Amino acid sequence: MMEREQLLKREAEAWAALEDAVDRVPEERRAEPGVVPDWSVHDLVWHCAWWARYSGDNLERMAAGTYVHESHDDKYWDAINARIAKEGRGMTWDEVVKGASTARARVRNGLALLPGVTKEAEKDFAGETFEHYEEHTVEIERFASFLGL
């Protein structure tokens, strides 16, 4: 199991790598679909931010003793991801970046609220932050390379 500081360090490093990948793509091309089918850099950054905020909510509930694990099928989560993409497409790039900053602060604060990091908290935090960022960083880097950047 990872310690709180290790988790926070991994989150910060993975976010920095995501930002580096995003920076390779010119701002005028960040809304261009194709990073993953029908999704753009803009979509993926908002997607990562949304799930980080979701984890922050979960961690706050864990700290308060009110957390209940949600178990749903892939269809349920796919519908949420579609809703997230639609929401993000109605936002400017600056709104996405600001929302990501807020979401990251929330998830990091949520982890700090816990008296101790449980396996469940670690899994939630890791899965919705650095593991998730790393997955999409690879896709954004691939897209940037495809663009010749």
Domain borders along the chain are: 4-146
Please provide the average confidence, as pLDDT, over all residues in the chain.
96
**Alpha-carbon distances of 107 from 90, 111, 132, 138, rounded to whole Å:** 23, 6, 13, 22
Per DSSP, the residues of 79-144 read HHHHHHHHHHHTS-HHHHHHHHHHHHHHHHHHHHHSSS--HHHHHHHHHHTHHHHHHHHHHHHHHH
pLDDT at residue 123 above 90? yes
- When the candidates are 3.40.630.10, 3.40.50.1970, 1.20.120.450, 2.130.10.10, the CATH number that belongs to 4-146 is 1.20.120.450
Residues of the chain above pLDDT 90, percent: 92
pLDDT digits (tens, 9 = 90+) for 26-78: 999 999 999 999 999 999 999 999 999 999 999 999 999 999 988 889 999 99
Q: Are 53 and 106 in contact (CB under 8 A)?
A: yes
Query: Cα angle vertex 41, ends 85, 145, to 5°?
Result: 150
Q: How much is the pLDDT for 116?
A: 93
